[in-house]
Structure 1
Amino acid sequence: MHDLPDGWTPGGPLNAGTLKTEYAVHPLGTDVRRPRLGWIATAPGFGATQASYQILVASSPELLTPENADVWDSGKVSSSRTFGIEYDGQALTPRTRYHWTVRLWDGLDREGSWAEPEWFETALLDEGWGTARWIGGTTDSAPLLRQAFTTDGTVKQARLYASGLGYADLRLNGQRISDAVLDPGFTDYDHTVLYVTHDVTDLLRSGDNVVGAELGRGFFGLTTPNAWRWHQAPWTAEPRLLARLVIEYDDGRTTEVVSDESWRITGGPTISDDLYTGETYDARRARPGWDTAGFDDSAWSTATVVDAPKGSLQAQAHEPIRVVETVRPTDITEVRPGVWIVDFGHTTAGWTKLTVNADAGTVISLTHGETVADDNVVAVNVHVEGDRIQRDEYIAAGNGIEEWEPRFSYKGFRYVQVEGITDRPDVLMRVVHSDVRDVTRFSSTQSSYEQFDQAMRRTVLNNLHGIPTDTPFMEKNGWTGDAQVGGPTMLATLDLARFFTKWLGDIRNSQAESGQLPVIVPSSGWGFTDLSPATEWPTVYPFLLREMHRSYGDERLLHEHWDSLTRYLAWELDRVEDGLSVSVLGDWLPPGFGSGPAPEDRRLTGTAYLYRALIAAAEIGDLIGKPNDYRKSAAELKDGLNRAFLDREAAVYKSGDDPDYRQTSNAVPLAFGIVPDELVRRVAANLAADVEARGFHLNTGCLGVGVLLPVLTAHGYADAATKVALQRSYPSWGYWFDLGADTMWEKWEEDSRSRNHYFQGTVVQWVYENVAGLRNLDAGWQRILVRPDARGEVDSATIRTDTIRGRVTVAWKRVSRVLSLDVQVPVGTTAEVHVPSAAASDVTVVPAPFASEASYEDGYTIYTVPAGLWNFTSRSA
């Protein structure tokens, strides 16, 4: 219980809401044998804490009482923990739904109400797939597979467990089984293959039924030659399906339909599908009713049992990819006879939906791109062979109004060039990405900051397709360096607990026997020697693990990855030379350096990032009780970096390769705590002086851009940071937006080859943490810092974040010299609030009795407060 003033008690009762299992609300199909449970504790008033909880798990909601719970009763457990609580009852059985609830006691031992019950359902666990087999066959196009079966009673429930590689569009009685697309998620198929659980109870009919699938290639069967050798991945094979349909009847009977050689197969209307080149669909080859009962499949072939992929089957736990928005064009222009350019008004990832009325055999092409030049949509990818990139083709059946949209590829685009029809095209933009949840809302009187937030949010989402990609326009690869610099902003914006848990598994799966990690994850084998070693990229592994603990308090994740993490760091440390880490990439794409790294010695940033990775690993070891020497190794790297690159007399970091002062070379050591204490002030002053000398412009690439403004602000140069942030001329974010950007770009130049790249957009982290003033300090938001220390050129800012402990809100507004600051702190969180003021006596707090004794330091009155809604008013901000 937080210490309360005499005579005050928290306004109870304390109750639990937003119950989740493995970070999900009612997950359908989990293979986790001891799933973790969590909730949000809430109470009116101030100072509430959770002192105890009791969890009940039962086979039905009606049994969720302490007297009747037939699966698990935790009893009253003395703990303030509200998440990551492992189920500890009897062994869970496969294909079973479990119901659970919880009640809480506060610090005064007052009992709350039982929470509204939630449920989770197990998948196959160790039961396996029975007689189901992987099936496929030789076809001249994307295969269609079908199986007819009958039901003969009242169905209680039915579940379809399925994996189609690369992607499966699953059907039952003429309807899509799920709204998920590009499913299941992309993995290293030699290590892990994901399957999905579907509730198909309501799709079954009494009597004759048909289950079917159309299969796409994805990265499993990609054939187009490309720079990353996805066409030569060790798992590359023709599409295949594994399915097990389990039907339970009211009378207790169970029947199954499984994938085997009794299924029928043929080539369908999707002539080709490729993640880079797009899809060709011949509507003349469509087979109406193929996925319904009564269809004559006698001309189809018998499916073939094929080899299973090497990877182990695992229930998909992260959010599926979905069509999340449909957008109408803002402009359609006929640039030449029969050639139309459609502008959708913003840059996205996804595809277009076509409606057309054309003669049979008419070929309509749709070429997708982010820019237009010389009256053509630009669709160029130098990394993929051939002249077809991001182009879909539809061949009309001639049956009147026809509608079509792709299912097995996505594109990065704003514009679509439509050819092959004379009438004005009827097309819609379909926005497609992993269906993760927004957790943060930001607003401000400074419109540029809102623009940054919206653009970065859109860019990140456009790059979430089961993995965090670099760009949906060109590569679609999981570049580790992009997630390294973008991770904190991404975690602050979206709920990525399940998404990043999955991708961290991909990182582990990509590890070589030597311990090395590639620069892209998953990898076909590319990225171990190509553009590698590049320390600043795969060191995302320990850093992201640490950030996941900071965001979600996830200790299981740390335990699960410790062995792989130590193998990786051993590989990195083994190649250190003269106290430095060799790297080939460095500060990628600073202004003026085309399509490559900055000119400075890349050992500087490589060593700095390895230093930070070792510190993160040391902290992880401390958290899970694993002794290590990582701090010692980090200190040796710190000394090596300072010996090689620090000019102590000038208080500047530089290398012999530098053409001028490099901001990244100085900002990164400051941000990572590498600068000797006695030189910190001078190194920061030199950095600020260079920024001013450049007219308040940055000269950073992707590594430096995210630390430059926070470092300037932390060392007393918030005004300089603000001027850089609000700069409108090249190079700056404002320069992009004045050119019409609505997303973050890869390069600072106008000719940026990708306009959907988040690694230069990490200014948003500074906006959240320094302008709005909210910083998460550790352990699942257990401690937060509220300090709006970049208030220039803005009169108000508000940030609202739904954390794993509950909602945190910081809202400040300034009128003249009076600043009002509202802070909402959830149960289980303690806030250190720094109120801008000339003296502690200038600040008032509501409610006054709850604020701890204030201290004063460097223009801020500092309070430590527990859960509640607080107002601080400063008369001298």
Structure 2
Amino acid sequence: MRTEGLKPAESAPTVVSVLIPRSLKTEYAVQPLGVDVPRPRFSWVVEAPGYGATQAAYQVLVASAPELLTPERADVWDSGRVESARTFGIAYDGPAAARTRYHWTVRLWPTDDAADGAGDEGGVWAEPSWFETGLLAEGFGNAQWIGGVTDSAPLLRRAFTVDGTVRRARLYASGLGYADLRLNGSAVSDAVLDPGFTAYDHTVLYGTQDVTALLAAGDNVVGAELGRGFFGLTSVNVWRWHDTPWTADPRLIARLVIEYDDGRVDEVVTDETWRITGGPTLSDSLYLGETYDARRALPGWDAAGFDDSSWAPTQVVEAPRGTLKAQAHEPIRVIETVDPVEVTEVRPGVWIADFGRTVAGWTRLTVTAEAGTTISLTHGETVADGNVVARNVHVDGDRIQRDEYIAAGTGVETWEPRFSYKGFRYVQLEGAPAQLEMRVVNSDVASATTFESSQAPYEQFERAMRRTILSNLHGIPTDTPYFEKNGWTGDAQVGAPTMLATLDLARFFTKWLGDIRDSQADSGQLPVIVPTSGWGFTDLSPATEWPTVYPFLLREMYRWYGDDRLLREHWDSLTRYLAWELGRVEDGLSVSVLGDWLPPGFGDGPAPEDRRLTGTAYLYRALVVAAEIGSLIGEPNDFRKAAAELADGLNRAFLDRDAGCYRSAQDPDYRQTSNAVPLAFGIVPDDMVSRVAAGLAADVEARGFHLNTGCLGVGVLLPVLTKYGYGEVATKVALQRSYPSWGYWFDLGADTMWEKWEDDSRSRNHYFQGTVVQWIFENVAGLRVIDAGGERIVVRPDARDEVDAASIRTETIRGRVTVSWQQTGRVLSLDVQVPVGTTAEVHVPSARASDVDAVPQSFAGSPSYDEGYTVYTVGAGKWSFTSRSAS
């Protein structure tokens, strides 16, 4: 049975239910400030008792105040009753003024005869929510970009007066590369490394902060300290971030809007009346770290009453070329503070702190030292020869990931950096004894999934992959927080399914897809890193397996969130990119220079096989998903025809029908990726599928159940083996403890996923080899989200060898899905929770359909039987199944 083509159940009975809308969001966010979308989209989750409940209609009200949210009083917009089962992507169709808060609610009608009458009042109204627009077309008004020449990170300030009772105050600001914004001595938010990194010649993000509570009657001060980030990076590096189309010194634009109770509106904007000076942060670099001289600190500089007469007036500076847009994705925050598990004095005056986990972030220092004492903090993921290892051959200089603090000598001093982050587990402290704390820092995205299993390594892998993904979320999906901090497209290509299954990345990936579009060349080509300085169009490029993430990620966003607007917004850029890729096809094949990166035993580069094989396969998949996107949004295209031609070319060039495998002239031996990828992507001719799959399983077994895949093959190997009946082989690979394997890493002390299979892996916080977790979620726990924001799911735990129990809970855009199973002998219990709006096809392991009991049977309907599974199609509700003959 092929689950990809499932249709929602038509015969399952339904029950009249009260539908309760909860978890109201606007543009995927709860009560967002600064929405710049003219027609923001609403969503909600439907709760309902019983079984089989469905939504037949909804009504949305929008008003200027929550007390006006009734059909009779709503003064902004009333959708009326809309006959639709849709619970997300509901576009607001009322007026949208800049800087305005709109309150909204929704009620629902269930699908039943009683709800069809025109006089029916529908269900209960949801607890009201709201969204607040940003600057929209109004922009920054009279505000100008300001800056000035300073010998260190600049401090900027502006005094102003508040002369009444403030009803509301908002600060709209963008400081490049980063801005630590202050108002009356306090931070305006808990965001760090803000605003988000973009291609600044196309897009510049601004933040919106509610600062009402920070204002005081009388004298006030707004200020900012600016860091360099990727906007003004000066550290010379191979990716040329120090020499981009936008590279410039830090600058700020801000607009503070103060609304009084009496109706007056005052504004404080950036202009020449602001004051500027160099502050105590002597240098900051994302790669090298920061130097802070506490003797230069200016206490109270960001508060009223400070004398700034010695400061210089700011200068109006050139604006970045990018368009200012409201930042819609989650900010980066300090997520957790961790004490070291051990601090060792390795030699006199040198200490190494082990924090027991590998993360992205920085160290908070507390020290008492004489004035002028320099305390250095060197961050790294490993220790060798009594030193924390901090090397980066791609960046000039011998100071890598090192912060320096120069003490003021004023007693107990506490400091932490604000304009750089590091990848580390260990910190080497020199200069004076001190207290150290790890600050875990990443994009503050919500968890979507929890997983448990009786097989401890599976839980260990899931926790490690989650930590690794989070460590690489800093406004963009990076490859490693230690070395590059670059948005490698290939890493996201292989990691996206696991990432989306683990975390709520709707806003995060929407932003990064915009970065991809911004990075596109006039020719249609995309680089291998996004954003880019211009590097990656000819450097390690073209590499088809990398930028083909563009259509694949768009399709994945539709699978998880049903986001068809995103598909439409990117269609033109997507088709230009694919036209460029097709234009360079030679002899039916796509040329690629990267291939199956970092397989075991081949050093620090690509796999030895002909990289046209994987390049062509990934272009084939890109064309197939682009054709699906075109069909979804009504855009005719010929991508399926082009995909079929590529499949023919790949099979002619690399399929050895006599041997029953794919191979190239460069192969030193059998290459698992070369066979797993065509199987996974549906390229193998039907008459050869079983032979190719059998050959793959035989090779894995011949290697003692070891893989020989790099980053492209690792994520598809186990799912392919399981799909074609070799689940036991897949399990033995997953639970392998000797090299190369995940178990090998963890026996060496790993707590995250590594870049390489070898024990000398350069990066130890790199998610692209950790995609075994997708197989754990989909095959061990058995949950597969099929399409359209979880409209269809398949429950099929078909990798149960060596496992007695597993459970997964996922928060989809439609609501919570849970799958939990436990097996004792041949008796298997399977519990499934399905949200309203989702249809689940549940495959219960069994020898015969008669051996399975379903509760409640009256709503489960009549099952079918398919190759060892009794199959039920069910709608919303909590279902329990018991099999007496699970093998």
The two structures share one fold, judged by TM-score above 0.5: yes
Asked if 1:67 is matched to 2:72, the reply is yes
Structure 2 residue 284 is the aligned partner of structure 1 residue 277:
no
- Between the aligned partners of 1:720 and 1:856, the Cα distance in structure 2 is 25
Which of 586, 596, 608 is matched with 2:617 structurally?
608
Partner of 1:206: 217
Aligned counterparts, 1:388-399, within 5 A: 388-399=399-410
Tell me which amino acid in the other structure corresponds to 1:749. E
1:849: Cα distance to partner? 1.0
Partner AA of 1:657 in structure 2 = Q
Residue 88 (1) aligns with residue 123 (2): no
- Give the letter aligned to residue 261 of structure 2: D
Distance 2:11 2:554 in 1: 36
Whether 1:314 and 2:325 are equivalent positions in the alignment is yes
Q: Distance in 2 between matches of 1:382 and 1:739?
A: 25
Give the C-alpha shift of residue 852 in structure 1. Answer: 2.6
- Distance in 1 between the 2:140 and 2:692 partners? 62
Q: Report the RMSD for the aligned CA atoms in angstroms.
A: 0.8
Q: Report the AA paired with residue 246 of structure 2.
A: W
Shift of 1:281: 0.1
How far does residue 10 in structure 1 lie from its aligned partner after superposition? 2.0
Task: Answer yes or no: is 1:363 the counterpart of 2:379.
Answer: no
Give the one of 140, 148, 169 matched to 2:151: 140
Matched, 1:569 2:578: yes
SS of aligned partner of 1:437: coil
Q: Aligned partner of 2:48: which letter? A: A
User: How far apart, in 2, do the equivalents of 1:738 and 1:192 lie?
Assistant: 45
Q: Which whole-Å deviations, capped at 9, do the CAs of 1:288-337 have from their partners, x for residues lacking one? A: 00001010000000000000000000000000000000000000000010
Contact 1:272-1:281 within 8 A present in 2 as well: yes
How far has the Cα of 1:545 moved from its partner? 0.2
Q: How does 1:580-729 map to 2 (within 5 A)?
A: 580-729=589-738
Asked whether the equivalents of residues 442 and 450 of structure 1 are also in contact (C-alpha less than 8 Å), the reply is yes
CA drift of 1:613 comes to: 0.2
SS at match of 2:498: helix
Q: Structure 1 residue 46 and structure 2 residue 55: aligned?
A: no
Bigger CA drift: 100-109 or 135-144? 100-109
Q: Does the aligned pair in 2 maintain the 1:11–1:44 contact within 8 Å?
A: no
Matches for 1:340-739 after TM superposition, within 5 Å: 340-421=351-432, 423=433, 425-739=434-748
Distance in 2 between residues matched to 1:496 and 1:376, nearest whole Å: 37
Q: Point out where structure 2 has 5 or more consecutive residues left out of the alignment.
A: 1-7, 116-121
SS in 2 for 1:231: coil
Map of 1:106 onto structure 2: 110
**Partner SS for 2:624:** helix
**1:844 equivalenced with 2:853 (yes/no):** yes
The offset of 1:853, in angstroms, is 1.7
1:339, distance to aligned residue in structure 2 (A): 0.4
Q: Is 1:239 paired with 2:244? A: no
Tell me the distance in 2 between the aligned counterparts of 1:644 and 1:852. 49
CA offsets per residue over residues 760-806 of structure 1, 9 Å max, x none?
00000000000000001100000000000000001000000000000
Runs of 4+ in 1 over 4 A off after TM superposition: 1-5
Distance 1:791 1:71 in 2: 54
User: Would the aligned equivalents of 2:598 and 2:711 in 1 still touch at CA under 8 Å?
Assistant: yes
Amino acid at match of 2:319: A
Query: Deviations 1:117-142 (Å, cap 9, x if unpaired)?
Result: 00000000000111100000000000
Q: What does residue 128 of structure 1 align with?
A: 139
**Which amino acid is the alignment partner of residue 160 of structure 2?**
F
Distance in 1 between the 2:830 and 2:72 partners?
48
Report the alpha carbon displacement of residue 9 of structure 1 after superposing the two structures with TM. Answer: 5.4
Counterparts of 1:654 and 1:308, CA distance in 2: 54
In the TM superposition, what whole-angstrom CA distance separates every residue of 1:176-214 from its partner, at most 9, and x where no partner exists?
Answer: 000000000000000000000000000000000000000
Report the CA distance between 1:3 and its aligned residue.
5.5
The SS at the match of 1:692 is: helix
Answer yes or no: is the 8 Å Cα contact 1:11–1:43 preserved in 2.
no
Equivalent residue, structure 1, for 2:15: 10
Q: 2:252 is paired with a residue of what secondary structure? A: strand
In the TM superposition, 1:784-823 aligns within 5 A as: 784-823=793-832
Query: Which deviates more from structure 2 when the two are superposed, residues 108-117 or residues 829-838?
Result: 108-117
Whether the 8 Å CA contact 1:4–1:47 is kept in 2: the answer is: no
Looking at structure 2, the residues matched to 377 and 594 of structure 1 have their Cα atoms a distance apart, in angstroms, of: 23
Give the secondary-structure state (helix, strand or coil) at the position aligned to 1:666: helix
Counterpart of 2:788? 779
CA distance in 2, matches of 1:99, 1:9: 33
Does the CA contact (< 8 Å) of 2:16 and 2:110 recur in 1? no
The equivalent of 1:34 in structure 2 is 39
How many Å separate the matches in 2 of 1:609 and 1:739? 34
Contact 1:366-1:416 within 8 A present in 2 as well: yes
Which letter does structure 2 place at the counterpart of 1:831? A
| SS of residue in 1 equivalent to 2:52 | coil
1:567-588: per-residue Cα shift (whole Å, max 9, x none)?
0000000000000000000000
Residue number among 52, 58, 61 corresponding to 1:56 in the alignment: 61
Runs of 5+ unmatched residues, structure 1: none
Note the alpha carbon deviations across 1:415-473, whole angstroms, 9 max, x for none. 0000001x3x2000000000000010000000000001000000000000000000000
Q: Quick one: which of 294, 303, 309 aligns to 1:298?
A: 309
| CA distances 1:368-390 after superposition (whole Å, capped 9, x unpaired) | 00000000000000100010100
Aligned 8 A contact 1:218 1:274 in 2: yes
User: How far apart in 1 are the matches of 2:611 and 2:508?
Assistant: 31
Letter in 2 for 1:218: G
Rounded Cα–Cα distance in structure 1 between residues aligned with 2:660 and 2:646: 19
Instruction: Give the whole-Å Cα distance in 2 for the aligned partners of 1:858 and 1:221.
Output: 60
Aligned-partner Cα distance in 1 for 2:567–2:185: 45
Match of 1:335 in 2: 346
1:9–1:522 CA distance, 2 compared to 1 (3 A): closer
SS in 1 for 2:242: helix
Q: Could you say what secondary structure the match of 2:789 adopts?
A: coil
Kindly provide the amino acid, as one letter, of the partner of residue 65 in structure 1: T
Contact 1:2 1:47 in 2 (8 A): no
> Counterpart of 1:126 in 2: which secondary structure?
helix
Deviation string for 1:10-69 (max 9, x for gaps)?
A: 262111000000000000111000000000011001000000000000000010000000
Cα distance in 1, alignment partners of residues 278 and 859 from structure 2? 71
Q: Give 1:844's aligned amino acid.
A: D
Matched to 1:98, the amino acid is: Y
Q: Which amino acid aligns with 1:207?
A: G
Instruction: State the AA in 2 paired with 1:310.
Output: R
Judge conservation of contact 2:9–2:839 (CA < 8 Å) in 1: no
Q: 1:266 touches 1:300 (CA, 8 Å); kept in 2?
A: yes
Equivalent residue, structure 1, for 2:118: none
Distance (whole Å) between structure 2 residues aligned to residue 302 and residue 338 of structure 1: 44
Cα deviation code 1:645-688 (max 9, x no counterpart): 00011111000000000000000000000000000000000000
CA distance in structure 2 between the partners assigned to 1:230 and 1:131 by the alignment: 31
